[in-house]
Each structure stands twice: as C-alpha cells, then as structure tokens.
Amino acid sequence: MRRSRWRSGAIVGLTAAVVAGYAAITMTGASAAETLLSQGKPATASSTEAAGAYLASEAVDGNAGTRWASAFSDPQWLQVDLGTTQSISRVELNWETAAGKAFEIQTSNNASSWTSIYSTTTSTGGNQNLTVNGSGRYVRMYGTQRTTGYGYSLWEFKVYGGGTTTPTDPTTSPTGPTLPGGGSLGAQVTVFDPSQSSASIQATADAIFAQQETNQFGTQRNLLAFKPGTYNGLNIQVGFNTSVIGLGQNPQDVRINGDITVDAGWFQGNATQNFWRSVENISLYPVSGADRWAVSQAAPFRRMDVHGDLNLAPNGYGWASGGYIADSRISGVEGQYSQQQWFTRNSQIGSNSNAVWNQTFVGVQGAPASSFPNPPYTTIAQTPVIREKPYLYLNGGNYAVFVPSLSTNSSGVSWANGNTPGTSIPLSQFYVAKPGDSAATINQALAQGLNLIFQPGVYHVNQTINVTRANTVVMGLGYATIIPDNGVTPVQVADVDGVKIAGLLFDAGTTNSANLLVIGPNGSSANHAANPTTIQDVFFRIGGSIAGKATNSLLVNSNNAIIDHIWAWRADHGNAGTYGWAVNTADSGLIVNGQNVTAYGLFVEHYQKYEVVWNGNGGKTYFLQNEQPYDPPTQAAWRSGANGYAAYKVADSVTSHEAWGLGSYCYFNVNPSIHSNSGFEVPVNSGVKLHNLLTVSLGGNGVIDHVVNNTGAAAQGTATVPVYLNSFN
C-alpha cells in the first residue's frame, strides 16, 4: 500500500483510508445542517514538540499550513473545547507524516471522564474523515502508538455536529425522529460472568440446549456470551440456531477449562443435519484433551484457541458432511475422521488426521502437504486477500464491534502477535434492531449513518433494507433471520467500499423473491481492491421452515468482493409442505457478475438450475461443497433436451478464472434414473483453470456422467466412490 506523505499541507499521495473517506462522502452526499464546531475554539494538548511552536491552537485555526506537534512519546492527546455540549457526527484528521497509528476519538462533558466514539490500531495517517456518533463539550484525539519515531502532528483537527448525514438517494433519507445508537442486545443474549458459579452457568446452558437440540426449523434464536475471565468445569453443548462467543479482544481473554460440544445423539449418531450453530473467540482447554465439533453446513468455528485436539466427527464416527474453520489455533490434531469434506483457512494446527473426499487448507500453518487425490488434500500456503469477520466484544467494559483489517498473502491466525489489527467501533454507532422492527425503521437508522446489529430473532421485512454508506457494518447475532414478505429483495448494498455483512440467515418468503442479498446494483463498475465488501457466515434457506421461493440467493455485482463462508441451501427436508420440486423453487444459489471476486468456503446445494454461475472475470474460488437437487421427478422436468445442470458454471464469455477443491455429489432419491451431464461446466481456454475436482454418486442414486464438461468418468454405483480429476485447462 502506498503511504501518504504531506509537505506544507499539500497531498503527495492518497492512502486507502482517504479513498474510502472520499467514497463515503460521494455516496452519502452533503450533510443536513452539519456545522464545523471546532474552528477557532480553545484547544489544549498533552505537549508540544518545541516551546512556543506547533501549538494546539494551530490544529483548529482553519489553516492547513500550520500544525500541532507533540513530544516524541506515548500517549499524547489534543483536545478542543466546544463551549457547550454538542452532538458530534463527524471528525476530520489531517495528519502530517508523523501520524497516529493507534488512537481514539473521545468525548467528555467535564474534560476528566472520557467516552470513546472511535478507535483504531491500524491507521496509516493521511486525511481521515470519520463518521461518529456521540456528544460532549470536549472532543479529543488520544494517541497511544505513532507511525514514526517522531511525535503526533495534525495540520487540522475538525469536529462537526448539529446534523445528520443525508444520503442523496431519497428512498434512504431519514424520515422520522433521530434513532438512538446502542442499547440492549436483547433477551435472547445470555451473558456469563466468571464470578458466576460453574453450576449456574452449566444449568443455564443446558436449559437452552434442551430447547434447541432438535429444534432445527424453530423460531428461537440464542447467543451465549462469556465475559473475559476463566471458567471451570463446563461442557457447553451447542444446539440449533445458537452461537457461543467470548467477549474478549482476543481468544485468550476468555478461558474455558472444559468443552464446547456438538454431537449427534439427537439424530442417532448422524451429524449430517447439525446445521446453524457457531462458536467464536474463546480459548478452550478440553477436559479429555480433545473437543468434539461434529457439524455439517452453516456451523463456523472462528477465532478459537484449542489447547488439545479437535474431533470433527460424531461419537461412533457416524456420517458428517463438511464444515468450516478460520482464524483458529489447534495445538493438537485437527481430526477429520468421517467428515466427507472440510475447509480450513488462516489457522495453525499441530497436525491433521484422515481425509475422506475433499479436505482443503488455505493459509494454514501445519497443514498436510497437497496430495490430491490420495489422500485428497488441497493445500495452498497463503490466503491471497482476506479480512477476518467483525466480532462483538467488550472494550473497557462497553460493547463494541471490532473490524479486522484487510490482509494479503497471509497465513496463520490474525492474533498470533497480539491484538488482531483493525478498528473498534463502539455500540453507540450501531442501531440495534429488535424483532418487530420494520425495514423502514432500519433504513432510517442506516440513513442516519449508523451501523446495524440484529438481536437474535426472526425479522419480516416488506421493503428492501438499503445499505448505501461505505464501510457500514451489518451483523446478526445468534442466527438472526430475515424473511422477505411480498417477494421483496430483503437486503441491497450499494457499489461502495468496505461494507461488511456477517452472521445472517436469509429465509426465503412464500412469495418469490428475485434475490435474497444483492451486493452492488447491476452494472457496478467501481474498483474496490483496496477496501472490498465482505460477506461472511451468511446463510440462505429456501424451504424447510416455510415454503420459501427465491430465483437466486446471493447476487454479487460489485468488483473485488470477498465471499467468506456461505451456505445456500434449497431444502431437501423440513416441516411438512415446505419442500418439493414445485414447492420451494429456486434456480441458483450464487451469481457473480463482479470482476476479481474471491470466494472461500462455498457450500451451495440442491438448486434447480446452475447452482453457482460465475460471469465476471478474475474470479477465484477456494473450496466448493455441492449436492445437486435430490428431487427432479423426471429428466425432462429438470432440463428438457439436456441432462440437468452443472453445479458450477463459468460463463462462456469468461477469459480468466481459477478454482481449487471443488466437489459435486448427486443423490436423486425421487428418481434414481436421473443423469446429470457434469459437475462443472467451463469454457475451454487457457485463462480458466480448475484444480482438484471430484464427483460422487451417493449410494448409486443417479449418475453424474462427467466431472467437467465431457471430461472425466461417470460417478455411479452403490459403492459411493468418487471420480477425481486433478486439473482442467
């Protein structure tokens, strides 16, 4: 990344932060009655670089040729007295080369007790335009780490307030009274404190598990959150629609001497339906030396520090069908055992045991060497580009969301050398949505400049939630679920930099929606390489709970987007009347139109046409787990004149695309005579390359005639033996 350098107030270069700031200004438009509050007001500082020079007042004089500079030590601060308590909406920092790497923007009414309204540990200086939400008479920059060996130096420190930022799109303009940021996380968030007895914590967790163990398609949602500290003798069993998190800055801040367990006793030892549950940000010391996490889809294991082994199979080594690990350290063995496929990214493991069909490692220290197909390990040393998922934590006793920084060519965990690099956003800058909130209310909060957190629960929306501001964070807690009514698209993101969508379950409504999540409008063309939008732990369900319908689940039009773990699922089972060939109709799970889009951990299953459609150039996919639709009643009903649809289709017009570790399986249980021509369909040219592919017929229920196009043998027969292909093109 090119750094900014400043000479006499002139810009010589632009950092990504500047570009992001300008993008935010462009998209949100002019401020409504926003006022510059700080210019000419009394300013003080912790120090100055030289006596009588570089005074605090020179950072609020409106002259970009004069500056404040501090002594060469940490911490240092600069504050301005606004005269009266004001609402603060924006802060501009025009740094000299000697900038702050780690700093907070703080407010106070008495200049002695301070509230943080912005925090970062990865600033590179330059001209920063920070959207904030707070109030106070005094506003200060409080720096704790410098970018250089010199001090802190600001050409200008500008504080704005008195209004809200109004988007230029009138459909997303605030339409009612100002909504507050922050607030309760909801009754379905259970917070544990280390001062509580182990018995009381265990009893509460057991009661929640008893409700959720078999509640696959129920409406109850739960988040179990552990405050920093040590907990002893616990076995937290995790059921459906339940998330377990630590509230520390890093995994080591929450230590559980015990287990966090997923098993499959409820399903006679079969783990293939252990969906929709997660664990995150905890240091775990298993009682027996091995923790059990026997899951299949939509069950991420993130930011975990396991001091021992991790067993990914159910008790008795019954069936299990794939999962996802990221940003985690396992000191012992990552035990795949009966897992048919698994994806592990940016982690550190002591070793790995076993492989069934398709085990893929990207940026994993300690991963086995690539040996596909015998054993079927696909190992890539570094992750080309990623930003880890935002997470909820306690910052100085207050809830905040930490947004990790973008990294390139990385391996291992983000927290190996201390805090994960990134930025902290206080909960006061989020609208905390609760079940029953309308889409209009949520849009108003977004239009005010707030980020968005969904409490655990189910949300019906009768209009599109529009995310139009760059760098907006949209997070769900405890498998918060959005259901569109009347066929609307529930969430649409503008073609802006750095939006983060994480931890949501979209459940298609009974009236067909064109899409469930759209990233960028049609024709999006901006380059977001320096600050891409991320979609992480976002899941889509068509049928199963209700008789849902959606033509497509996820549509990505923006360039450079990162998809990091999705499960798009057209239901093959569920509540009575909610699934069937003509009931829960859906063409595709993922359509990518953007250029240079990267996907890690795609799980896309049972859609009725091409399940993944890739139209943009420069795309990269690391791991796909797919099952073709179970239920075509006849060959003609699926596709007249051809044998079905491939799972993964790269458009004929694409000239550059690459993918690793792709698997497609068939189980045509309604009509076992069905044939699918291939698992994968791509144009034949040197710029489109596929590596380490397989197809499987499960128990001989149907045939996949080829692996790619017309290449590769048929997957067929009751022996359930994969057909492998090492490369194509």
Is the bond leading into 683 cis (omega within 30 degrees of zero)? no
Distance CA 470, CA 311 (A): 40
Distance CA 304, CA 311 (A): 14
Helical segments of 578-719, H only: 635-638
Measure Cα distances from 190 to 221, 257, 304, 426 in Å: 11, 19, 20, 20
Distance CA 153, CA 78 (A): 10
Measure Cα distances from 83 to 89, 117, 456 in Å: 17, 19, 41
Distance CA 106, CA 157 (A): 13
Distance CA 311, CA 718 (A): 28
Distance CA 282, CA 244 (A): 9
Look at residues 191, 141, 131 and name the one whose alpha carbon lies nearest to residue 165.
131
Q: Is 601 left (phi over 0), alpha (psi -120 to 50) or beta?
A: left
CA 19 to chain CA centroid, nearest Å: 22
Residue 535: CA count within 13 A, CB half-sphere: 34
CA 266 to chain CA centroid, nearest Å: 29
Q: Amino acid identity, residue 209?
A: F
Distance CA 193, CA 231 (A): 9
- Around Cβ 462, how many Cβ atoms within 10 Å? 14
Measure Cα distances from 149 to 73, 141, 143, 152, 248 in Å: 8, 19, 14, 10, 30
- Around Cβ 132, how many Cβ atoms within 10 Å? 22
**679, 664 contact by CB (below 8 A):** yes
Distance CA 668, CA 670 (A): 6
Distance CA 650, CA 620 (A): 11
**Catalytic status, residue 627:** yes
Residues 6+ apart with CB under 8 A from 321: 271, 272, 296, 297, 339, 340, 341, 625
Which one is catalytic: 58, 104, 156, 627?
Answer: 627
Q: Amino acid identity, residue 687?
A: G
Catalytic residues: 627
